[in-house]
Chain A
Amino acid sequence: MPANLLPYLRLAGTALTRAWLFIVFFGVWWFWSAGSKNLYFPPLESIVKALWTQWATGPARAELASSLEHLIVGYVIAACLGIGIGAALWSLRYAREATSPYLYFLYVLPAPVLVPAALTLFGIGFTMKVVLIAFAAMWPTLLNTMDGMRGVDTVKLDTSKSLGLPRWRNLLQVVLPAAAPQIVAGLRNSLQVAIILMVVSEWVASTDGIGYYIVNAQESFDYVDLWSGIIVLAIIGVVANLLFVAVENRVLYWHYGARAVEGASR
């Protein structure tokens, strides 16, 4: 065997150890469902075709676009509010101590129960969905921001004081970066909540989005489309997570680097 093939083989081996379950799962599904006449359990082949004809080239592209629009706008607002309010509450002790019981109360409240209230307040349009996503997804980031900032090492704060950093520089250049690993963990939870709320907000009294498409398909007994919608949601989740990890690895490069060094010296 030529030696220069070896790295490629190794790469293929790594890929295979990670992907085998995925391949087996879809392989079994594909062959087991092939030629199925069961209305509720359509062949995977026709679902994949629907992915192409409906989502990639067909009319469902509009639903995908509007869902992504809700998700992105809602999530960005949630992230900004979460970090902003978290940082503000960290710096304002009285506001923090007065509000913290309510914050945890709102955090544990299952956000989907707010859908009816949001409907009456904001109607059925874009605003309702974005408000709902932003409101529900804000909490993990907000609470993690507060906790992370409260947990900053006192030696770092003393150092910051001894170097003469004024209040705002201390916040932006010491406290926020030191809390960044925990803030990012909050942002990741917020992303998951945002995706859930994206679908849930489209289920009820909506005229667009992937959630609307799925409910509509179910009500018209179109189970191929129903399944294709679910797969599209899964793909959105995976892609969003990959993007998140890519950004995280850049932003927290120093954190993972320092942790690796710490681990190696033990």
Chain B
Amino acid sequence: MTERDITESGVASGTATPVVSLRQVRKVYGSAAGPRTALQDITFDVARGEFACVVGPSGAGKTTLLRCLAGLMPPTSGEAMFEGAPLRSVPAGIGVVFQDYGRSLFPWLSVVRNVDLPLRVRGVARAERAARVAEVLTSVGLADAGRHYPWQLSGGMQQRVAIARALAYRPDLLLMDEPFASVDAQTRFELEDLILRVRDEFGVTVVFVTHDIDEAIYLADRVIAISKSPGVVTEIVDITLPRPRDQIETKRDPAFAAYREHLLGLVMSR
């Protein structure tokens, strides 16, 4: 469905409102050395249920893009929209997972209370809250870790808590900013499979920012490649690898190697 609704420019042509749409988004930072353009004319849509990965070298404004998408920062010009409405602040339907779990989790709250917090904010009834917290913690494989504090867990488990917290209030869109960049390779593969599984389970649309091309191809329905200074969209690549994906089988597929070669060329060329 997603591939048919989206034209080559990345803009949805169908009637359904895309979850995310960016129109000529530009972000300029003022600095001592003069204005610096982090993002230039970024335009693309993400359809409901889609898994979109944004790849680019470091310094390509990936985090800036994600902050604009989340409504944490307004673009200098252009428009960032969520479900058809321009973003002014973070809407209730967006969940964000940051790279550094050590900084995004609240160390003064236990795992359960971390996950429970957004539900309290939304006024969910007590019994319902307990059920949902248990549900998401089970989904991320942490059913027994609830009473611990985040800092008592390993890095991979802490990022699972952050994912559970972002899913607890059932957002329509999950934004992830290099979420697996600070865990070891083994854990990283586990977490990649975990995010694919919970994405199916919760039916959430995902925009996933990474600098790792393999990771982007492995996870995505579509890869949006952006280049460095200024960050512009160089190409949007549909990934038609079969699902469910498998760390060994998918990566052995000749098509996987072809995507990698193509994207690597795009990222390296600038």
With A258-B151, A261-B151, A261-B152: A162-B70 Cβ-Cβ less than 8 Å: yes
**B89 and A258: CB pair below 8 A?**
no
Known: A156-B103, A254-B108, A255-B107. A161 touches B121 (CB 8 A): no
Nearest Cβ in chain A — how far from B101, in angstroms?
A: 10
Query: Which residues of chain B are within 8 angstroms of A174 by Cβ–Cβ distance?
Result: 106
* Residues A156 and B108 in contact in the complex (CB < 8 Å), given A165-B117, A261-B152: no
CB nearest to A259 among chain B residues: B151
Q: Is B255 an interface residue (CB 8 A)?
A: no
20 A-B contacts (beta carbon < 8 Å)? A155-B98, A156-B106, A159-B96, A159-B104, A161-B90, A162-B70, A162-B90, A162-B95, A162-B96, A164-B92, A164-B121, A166-B121, A169-B121, A178-B106, A254-B107, A257-B151, A257-B152, A258-B107, A258-B151, A261-B151
Number of A-B residue pairs, CB cutoff 8 Å, is 65
Residues of chain B lying within 8 A (CB to CB) of residue A261: 151-152
Q: A258 with B72: in contact, given A158-B96, A158-B98, A180-B108 (CB under 8 Å)? A: no
Contact with B along A141-167 (1 / 0, CB 8 A): 000000000000101101101111110
Please indicate the chain B residues that have their CB under 8 angstroms from the CB of A169 in the complex.
Answer: 121
Known contacts A164-B118, A254-B149, A261-B152; A155 and B100 CB within 8 A of each other: yes
Q: Count how many chain B residues have C-beta atoms less than 8 Å from C-beta atoms of the other chain.
A: 26
Is there an interface contact between B89 and A257, defined as CB atoms closer than 8 Å? Answer: no
Q: Which residues of B contact A (CB under 8 A)?
A: 67, 70, 72, 89-90, 92, 94-96, 98, 100, 103-104, 106-108, 117-118, 121-122, 149, 151-152, 165-166, 169
The answer to whether the Cβ of A36 comes within 8 Å of any Cβ in the partner chain is: no
Please list the 4 inter-chain residue pairs (A to B) with the smallest Cβ-Cβ separation, ordered nearest first. A155-B103, A162-B96, A258-B151, A163-B118
| A163: chain B residues within 8 A (beta carbon) | 117-118, 121, 165, 169
B1 to chain A, nearest CB (A): 28
Chain A hits for B92, CB < 8 A: 164
Give the docked Cα–Cα distance between A240 and B266 (Å). Answer: 66
Contact A165 B149 (CB under 8 A): no
A159 in contact with B98 (CB, 8 Å): yes
